[in-house]
């Protein structure tokens, strides 16, 4: 079961006055009224794709979100319980469209019984749990321990979670009503200064499926269907410089997606040069689109010819890996905690992983999963960079951030 919308193989240059035709059209079915609490694109209009992963057992509901058109999938996973009813991992925005998809699953498989908030620091997951839970008032909500908020550490009920039916996941699984079908492990807490990092990953034994939030990702070579529903961000980033026109074609969508992946993982990829303000302004005066949607024609990037080599290194034939941001800024602050957790997870007999971002499902084995954390067992200068010099250069921006944070954050764990 999948919702897909495409344009075939045609090549189209989109005139300035018609460029909204490749973006989202306002529709009350896609409304997310609380977007100002976390103002990420596409703001108040979020479309939802429903995909069936395991026939009649596991589904994902996907939306997109991002900054400066660096948009990636965000994903909720729904599992049919053998006891009857549905189990939900990491809810997405409960738009009317999303809730309609959910109600179709409820009509076929029973009520939503359990809702899981698997992270303590991922606000892009936390913000949806309370509003989503209100649509399913009989569901019990389980949250990862050590929840926190900034600048004030507020009670969960003040963050919108229903106080009378919200329970913290215990470390040992004692008293969890769905423990006959799931195992879970908690990674963390890893202290970060203002708060901590913690993620709960679940193993669904009947389908040999591992569910993760942010710890593991895999990069698809082509843009996922949910990203193509609003192709404007893909086409925006497919340009080499500010004078290029926005052109819609399968190749441009793919090119834009691969560059978005580089931005999302490295912040400032080595293959992109920043354009000076004066040059960017001059290009904006002669570019094809000077609308507010196109940031008035400003495109402060110039891609080098070797950018695709950087993507292929990141893609790595679709193998799962730990995102560079987590490698360099978070998990390296809890080396032994992370490795012991990875060892425990690798004891489960899973054959696929469903992360909350990028590709899903990801074919994997426990040994492939465990190998993704081997960067913590190497020297800190190698990390993922054993794939080549270009990859080391791609890490430069994140390493600069890490050097700054090391001066103000608590000491790393040995």
List per-residue pLDDT tens for the chain, 414 residues long: 444 333 333 344 334 334 444 444 689 999 999 999 999 999 999 999 999 999 999 999 999 999 989 999 999 999 999 999 999 999 999 999 999 999 999 999 999 999 999 999 878 899 999 999 999 999 999 999 988 777 667 777 777 889 899 999 998 888 899 999 999 999 999 998 778 999 999 999 999 999 999 999 999 999 999 999 999 999 999 988 877 888 899 999 999 999 999 999 998 888 887 766 666 566 666 666 767 786 666 777 788 888 999 999 999 999 999 999 999 889 999 999 999 999 999 999 999 999 999 999 999 999 999 999 999 996 444 444 444 455 678 777 777 777 766 666 666 665
How high is the pLDDT of residue 139?
97
Contact 230, 220 (CB under 8 A): no
Burial class (CB in 10 A: 0-12, 13-18, 19+), 125: buried
Reference 359, options 90, 75, 89, 126; nearest CA is 75
Alpha-carbon gap, residue 204 to 348, rounded angstroms: 10
Structure tokens at 346: 């690798």
SS3 for 354-372 is: ECCECCCCEECCHHHHHHC
Which CB contacts under 8 angstroms, 24+ apart, belong to 346-349? 346/370, 348/183, 348/203, 348/210, 349/208
Which pLDDT does position 242 carry in this prediction? Answer: 74
| CA quadruple 75, 252, 237, 91: dihedral, nearest 10 | -10
Query: How far is CA 255 from each of CA 41, 240, 308, 315, rounded to the nearest angstrom?
Result: 20, 10, 9, 13
| Residues 6 or more apart whose Cβ sits within 8 Å of residue 392 | 385
Tokens for 30?
């896609």
Domains belonging to the chain, first-starting first, are 31-219+347-374 (3.60.15.10), 225-317 (no CATH)
Q: Is 296 helix (H, G, I), strand (E, B) or coil?
A: helix
**What are 116's strand-pairing partners?**
89, 142
Distances (CA, A) of 401 to 267, 393, 404, 407: 10, 14, 5, 10
Q: Which CA distances in Å does 345 have to 185, 190, 337, 363, 370?
A: 7, 17, 12, 16, 8
State the pLDDT at residue 276. 67
**DSSP H/E element including 52:** strand 49-54
pLDDT at 53: 98
Order of strands, sheet of 196-204, starting from the edge strand that comes earlier in the sequence:
182-191, 196-204, 209-211, 352-354, 362-363
Q: What are phi and psi of 81, to 5 degrees?
A: -85, 145
In order of 90, 96, 147, the CA distances from 196 in angstroms are 18, 33, 8
**In sequence order, what are the residues at sequence separation of 6 or more whose Cβ sits closer than 8 angstroms to the Cβ of residue 193?**
405, 408, 409, 410
Under 8 Å between Cβ of 142 and 176: yes
Question: Do 193 and 410 touch, CB atoms closer than 8 A?
Answer: yes
User: Which string of b and e fits 134-150 if b means at least 16 CB within 10 Å?
Assistant: eebeebbbbbbebbebe
Q: Which whole-number Å values give the CA distances from 41 to 46, 70, 73, 239, 274, in the listed order?
A: 9, 9, 12, 20, 22
Distance CA 324, CA 219 (A): 13
Instruction: Find the DSSP H helices in 33-185.
Output: 96-109, 123-134
Please tell me whether residue 410 adopts helix, strand or coil conformation.
Answer: coil
* Per-residue model confidence (pLDDT) at position 3: 47
| pLDDT at residue 410, rounded to an integer | 65
Checking DSSP bridges between strand 182-191 and strand 166-168, what pairing results, if any? unpaired
Q: Which of 184, 185, 182 is nearest to 207 (CA)?
A: 182
**Residue 406: half-sphere exposure toward Cβ, Cα within 13 Å:** 12
């Amino acid at each position: 079961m999948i919702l897909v919308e495409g344009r075939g193989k045609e090549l189209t240059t989109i005139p300035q006055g018609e460029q909204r035709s490749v973006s989202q059209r306002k529709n009350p079915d896609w409304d997310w009224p609380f977007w100002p609490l976390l103002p990420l694109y596409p703001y108040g209009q979020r479309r939802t794709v429903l995909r069936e992963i395991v026939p009649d057992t596991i589904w994902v509901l996907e939306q997109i979100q991002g900054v400066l058109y660096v948009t990636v999938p965000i994903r909720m996973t729904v599992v049919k319980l053998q006891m009857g009813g549905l189990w939900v991992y990491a809810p997405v925005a409960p738009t009317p469209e999303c809730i309609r998809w959910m109600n179709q699953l409820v009509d076929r498989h029973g009520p939503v019984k359990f809702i899981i908030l698997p992270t303590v620091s991922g606000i892009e997951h936390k913000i949806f749990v309370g509003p989503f839970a209100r649509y399913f008032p009989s569901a019990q909500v389980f949250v990862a321990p050590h929840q926190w908020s900034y600048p004030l550490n507020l009670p969960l009920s003040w963050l919108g979670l229903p106080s009378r039916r919200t329970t913290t996941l215990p470390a040992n699984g004692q008293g969890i009503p769905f423990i006959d079908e799931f195992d879970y492990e908690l990674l963390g807490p890893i202290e970060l200064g203002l708060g901590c990092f913690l993620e709960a990953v679940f193993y669904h034994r009947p389908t040999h499926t591992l569910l993760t939030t942010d710890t593991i990702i895999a990069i698809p070579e082509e843009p996922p269907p949910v990203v193509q529903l609003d192709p404007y961000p893909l086409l925006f980033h497919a340009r080499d410089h500010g004078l290029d026109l926005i052109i819609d074609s399968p190749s441009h969508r793919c090119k834009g997606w691969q560059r978005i992946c580089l931005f999302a993982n490295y912040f400032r990829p080595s293959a992109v040069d920043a354009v000076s303000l004066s040059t960017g302004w001059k290009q904006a005066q002669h570019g094809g689109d000077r609308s507010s949607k196109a940031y008035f024609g400003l495109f402060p990037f110039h891609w080098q010819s070797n950018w695709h080599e950087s993507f292929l290194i990141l893609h790595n034939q679709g193998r799962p890996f730990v995102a560079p941001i987590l490698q360099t800024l978070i998990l390296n602050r809890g080396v032994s905690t992370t490795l012991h957790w990875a060892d425990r997870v690798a004891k489960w007999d899973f054959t696929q992983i469903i992360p909350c971002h990028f590709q899903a499902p990801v074919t994997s084995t426990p040994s492939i999963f465990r190998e993704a954390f081997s960067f913590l067992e190497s020297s800190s200068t190698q990390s993922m960079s054993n794939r080549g010099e270009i990859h080391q250069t791609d890490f430069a921006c994140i390493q600069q951030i890490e050097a700054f944070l090391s001066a103000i954050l608590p000491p790393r764990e040995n």
